[in-house]
């Protein structure tokens, strides 16, 4: 991306997560970058940039309702939601 957030022609940005949403370490980023930048994989005119995603923490507030049929397991539902 450019300074203004616009795509740059010929630039490919790769952000990836590992299994279970784990953030990749530098070794994994370098491994993926080496693979994707191989002349047999990457088109000659492309610039491939591999990086970890930016973590943004957030909270979600919501209200949920339990059907009467599920009231006997209300405590289980509540513990799973929280």
Q: Would you give per-residue pLDDT tens digits along the chain (82 residues)?
A: 665 677 888 888 999 999 999 999 999 999 999 999 888 887 777 889 999 999 999 998 989 899 989 888 999 998 998 8
Give the burial class of 50: count Cβ atoms within 10 A of its Cβ; 0-12 exposed, 13-18 middle, 19 or more buried.
Answer: buried
The confidence score (pLDDT) of residue 29 equals 97
- What's the whole-model pTM score? 0.64
The confidence score (pLDDT) of residue 5 equals 72
Rounded to an integer, what distance in angstroms lies between the CA atom of residue 37 and that of residue 14?
11
The confidence score (pLDDT) of residue 3 equals 57
Decide if 35 contacts 41 (C-beta within 8 A): yes
The confidence score (pLDDT) of residue 21 equals 92
Rounded to an integer, what distance in angstroms lies between the CA atom of residue 82 and that of residue 74?
12
């Amino acid at each position: 991306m450019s300074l203004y957030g616009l795509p740059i022609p010929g630039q490919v940005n790769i952000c990836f997560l590992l299994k279970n949403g784990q953030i990749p370490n530098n070794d994994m980023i370098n491994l993926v970058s080496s693979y994707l930048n191989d002349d047999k994989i990457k088109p000659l005119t492309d610039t491939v940039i591999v990086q970890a995603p930016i973590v943004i923490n957030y909270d979600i507030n919501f209200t949920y309702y339990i059907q009467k049929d599920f009231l006997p397991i209300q405590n289980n539902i509540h513990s799973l939601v929280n």
